[in-house]
Each structure stands twice: as structure tokens, then as C-alpha cells.
Amino acid sequence: MTDTIAEQMEQLELLLLHTDMQANPTFLDGLLSHEFEEIGSSGCVTSRQEVVDWLLHKNPNDRWSIENFRVKELSKDLILAIYHAHQIVGHNHQSKVSIRSSIWKLDEDNWKLVFHHASKLS
């Protein structure tokens, strides 16, 4: 696995977190598979539409940093990404930390997210 794939996956994860989807709602169709589902930090399974709604209504100023990013190639067209996400909260820059995993599938020439899981660490 090349660093380029890992870098590309990390950039896609950051795009999902940082893009103002209210300004560009069609952007999500290029990143989320129609088969997408998520297990959120609450442990509940979330549908694609619920995640789309959250992304469209989240605060566009929210910021995250990613650490310990790594990928595993599951097949030539499936990548598992694992990382820690730190959500910056408030003016004192406290953070909420979660460990996350995502499965990305190559769909023609584009990587699309098919599954995501987040677990709170603090």
C-alpha cells in the first residue's frame, strides 16, 4: 500500500468533516455510497439519510484533527481507514476524542464511503 492511498483516504475523511455541506449539498453524493451506514458513538446504527441530515446541519465552523491515521487494503477496491479524531470544542480548545474506522470502496474512479464507525474515548 502506498502512502498516496493513505494520504488520499485521510484527505477524504477531512473533506467530510470540514466541508460546509449547506453550501454544497450535492458534494455528498460524490463521497457517500448509496449503501452507506454508520454505527455512531452512541452505538446506534444510523442510516445514510440521517448522516446526510447531520452533515447538512452541523456547524460549518466545527473543526477536527486526525491522528494515528492508517489504512489496510481489504481488496483492490476496498480500503479500511482507522484513526483518532479530535473535535475542537469551544474557545479553550478542549477536544472530544474518538476512534474511528471507515470502509471506502472504489466506485469507477472515485472512492466512496460505505461504512463508518465511531467510538468515544473521552
What's the pLDDT tens digit per position in 2-15?
Answer: 569 999 999 999 99
- Indicate the DSSP class of residue 54: H
Of 98, 45, 103, the C-alpha closest to 77 is: 103
Is residue 85 over pLDDT 80? yes
Contact indicator for 60, 22 with CB cutoff of 8 Å: yes
Q: Say yes or no: domain 3-120 is CATH 3.40.430.10.
A: no
Phi and psi for 4 in degrees, rounded to 5?
Answer: -60, -40
How many helices (H) and strands (E) the chain has is answered by: 3, 6
**How confident is residue 121, by pLDDT bands cut at 50, 70 and 90?**
confident
What is the β-pairing status of strands 94-107 and 110-120?
A: antiparallel
Average per-residue pLDDT in the chain? Answer: 88
pTM (predicted TM-score): 0.87
